Amino acid sequence: MKKLINKPEDFVRESLEGMALAHPDLIKIHLDPNFVYRADAPVQGKVAVISGGGSGHEPMHGGFVGKGMLDAACPGEVFTSPTPDQMFEAAKAVHGGAGVLFIVKNYTGDVMNFEMAAELAHTEGIPVQNILIDDDVAVKDSLYTAGRRGTGTTVLAEKICGAAAEAGYDLKQVADLCRRVNLNGRCMGMALTSCTVPAKGTPTFELGDDEMEIGIGIHGEPGRERMKIKSADEITEMLALAIIEDPAYTRTVREWDMEKGEWVEVELTDEPFREGDQVIAMVNSMGGTPVAELYVVYRKLHEICEKKGLKIVRNLVGAYITSLEMQGVSITLLRVDDEMLRFWDAPVHTPALRWGM
Amino acid sequence: MKKLINKPEDFVRESLEGMALAHPDLIKIHLDPNFVYRADAPVQGKVAVISGGGSGHEPMHGGFVGKGMLDAACPGEVFTSPTPDQMFEAAKAVHGGAGVLFIVKNYTGDVMNFEMAAELAHTEGIPVQNILIDDDVAVKDSLYTAGRRGTGTTVLAEKICGAAAEAGYDLKQVADLCRRVNLNGRCMGMALTSCTVPAKGTPTFELGDDEMEIGIGIHGEPGRERMKIKSADEITEMLALAIIEDPAYTRTVREWDMEKGEWVEVELTDEPFREGDQVIAMVNSMGGTPVAELYVVYRKLHEICEKKGLKIVRNLVGAYITSLEMQGVSITLLRVDDEMLRFWDAPVHTPALRWGM
């Protein structure tokens, strides 16, 4: 296994410790249960934004903790959901009196554990809203997911909602905004190579020397199709068109009704992209793909968006939501309005994303 | 070959085009000869800082063009020196009347071509100073290099000298500072895997499934030793101690004497690290190593520096000087004084490095 690690069972903790040592001005870590949180938490009067999920997708989520983005991130073991006590303890540590937003990627374990954590928090009088991210257009149901998986839009939602919370939005407003970001974001990825989970020591799946997989999940879940490797332009076109031409999608999600004090089912439908839309485009490395290749992808994506009448008003090219050392790319497009764009542009200072300060 | 590219011969150009489309506020590109330059160039009255070298090390150098860092970068083909006309045309495009600093990594082709470019510029009345970066402590001579190779310190020198130029330093001052940065920086890298140059299509070198190479060059040049894979802590210790305990090193470099109007040989000796030194530490991915592993390395590096009495006052953890998709890491330590630190902290806005704006 070719990794810069010590014992596999120490990987997550040691990586968190290294991150805390590198960024003491921005973050602190709590071990057992594990979470990363803002060095200046709790920020009184501000909605706290928390996310989390399996490790192995770094910099997501721990790298997005800091000013203007997340208040805390709860990392599970590699590709394993964090436990409810992680989110619950994180919520208690960062709650500044204005409630907590849980941004939850749609994987069955994450959804369940974030719901349990919300219930624990409610018993302590901390208002919590859970908003689901399910933006991956590749497949309808997947190995660990009922419905669409949650992928690239998560990064954009964390930035935008973090800024909204910083600007003084209340919990309902931040939750509404997060739901809207999810409904306007779509993502799809592909892999040239597998990754290897440290505790397992062998590749998650096998891909032939001349093969790739389109629509892969961020844990290596099967995608749409395995095929011979194609050119960057062809790959970009497959991903971009799948996203841009994706029809309206309706899902039923569970959200906490603050007035009723219970989980309610909410039906949500998004709208396909239309000519004239303004979008934020993210071209994301799966972890092992160098940035020079991402720019080859961005070049083609830009051309396709122009042809389709989508205007890329902001972009992010780099490794933001990864699958360990997997080679491959994902594309995310988020239709934005002025409100989202304003929060996108707001200053942010985290280990992995920084501008304006 | 598992890469997101179209035709290998188009890779560099298409990547540059993608970068320009993604960052029109920061950079422009010139093709044939190829260079990346500041969107607002030339900046009148400011020393222009230019670097370059083979492609395949992205984000270096093109990703460091922008406000507060480089004025231009000249990318050769993958792992191939750029030609003198690239640097010469870049110099003409960004010269703002205060002269040009060429920051040159010590590879024979780069050194020769940057010297030729300087001579061409001199004939047009553009004052140019060439400063060499030769910081890699792994080996004394190498496949493409007489003396030490130029590696990680280049990134730090580009940031610090770019800020000094922005602050109004004149050409001699910026060149003196750059020379001083080089004499205070040391770097060493290692590889877990090889990389594949697109035009060749097969790995540059072979490493067994359980092997790694310590002291590898950024083009896969042989390092100090090939050995069985060790733990991240052991690897970090090998690299860090090689850097920290490296004795004084004397080299003779060629610099342009502005008064005499000719190349002169200058003997330069650096000083080993000492207890009490303040350092900037960079833990750099070779391209295919995920950031979570880099933080495991940083954790141990921090411990070793503490033990050795070196105080890490700033750090940079990520992919900054890479070898395509190679898995591995390099560590750079730069002893800094207040002047260097002030320029390190100054605002920068480039595609790959951004803070304070």
Does A346 contact B at CB distance below 8 Å?
no
> What is the pTM for the complete model shown?
0.98
Residues B66 and B97 in one domain: yes
Residues A180 and A293 in one domain: no
- Per-residue pLDDT, averaged over B205-220, amounts to 96
Residues A173 and A194 in one domain: no
Does B138 map to a domain?
yes
Q: Amino acid identity, residue A237?
A: E
Does the pLDDT value for residue B271 go beyond 90?
yes
Residues B301 and B262 in one domain: no
What is the model's pLDDT at position B6? 98
Residue A240 belongs to a domain with what CATH number? 3.30.1180.20
CA-based nearest distance A301→chain B, Å: 9
Residues B164 and B179 in one domain: yes
Interface of B with A in 35-54 (CB under 8 A): none
- Per-residue pLDDT, averaged over A258-278, amounts to 97
Percent of all residues in chain A with a pLDDT value above 70, rounded to a whole number: 100
Cα–Cα dist A317/A331, whole Å: 10
Does A282 map to a domain?
yes
Does B28 map to a domain?
yes
Does B103 map to a domain?
yes
Does B261 map to a domain?
yes
Residue B14 belongs to a domain with what CATH number? 3.40.50.10440
Residues B40 and B149 in one domain: yes
Rounded (5°) CA angle A90-A92-A94 = 70
Percent of all residues in chain B with a pLDDT value above 70, rounded to a whole number: 100
Long-range contact set of residues A111-115: C-beta below 8 Å, sequence gap at least 24 = A111/A254, A112/A81, A113/A81, A113/A82, A113/A83, A113/A84, A113/A87, A114/A52, A114/A84, A114/A87, A115/A254, A115/A263
What is the model's pLDDT at position B64? 98
User: What residue in B sits closest to A2 (Cα-Cα)?
Assistant: B192
Does A2 map to a domain?
no
What is the model's pLDDT at position A143? 87
Q: Give the tens place of pLDDT for each residue, A143-192.
A: 888 999 999 999 999 999 999 999 999 999 999 999 999 999 999 999 99
Residues B106 and B237 in one domain: no
Residues B19 and B54 in one domain: yes
Does A34 map to a domain?
yes
| Structure token digits, residue A158 | 């964390």
Q: What integer best gives the mean pLDDT of chain B?
A: 97
Parent domain of A177: 8-184+248-272+344-355
User: Of how many residues is chain A composed?
Assistant: 357
Instruction: Say how many domains are in chain B.
Output: 2
Query: Which of B58, B195, B231, B295 to substitute to test the interface with A, most A CBs within 10 Å?
Result: B295
Residues A101 and A200 in one domain: no
| Structure token digits, residue B138 | 């792994």
Contact B4 A294 (CB under 8 A): yes
Cα–Cα dist A159/A332, whole Å: 14
Contact B289 A325 (CB under 8 A): yes
| Structure token digits, residue B107 | 């590879």
Does A230 map to a domain?
yes
Residues A252 and A227 in one domain: no
Complex ipTM: 0.98
Residues B351 and B213 in one domain: no
Active site residues of B: 57, 219
Residues A31 and A146 in one domain: yes
Residues in a beta bridge with A285: A329
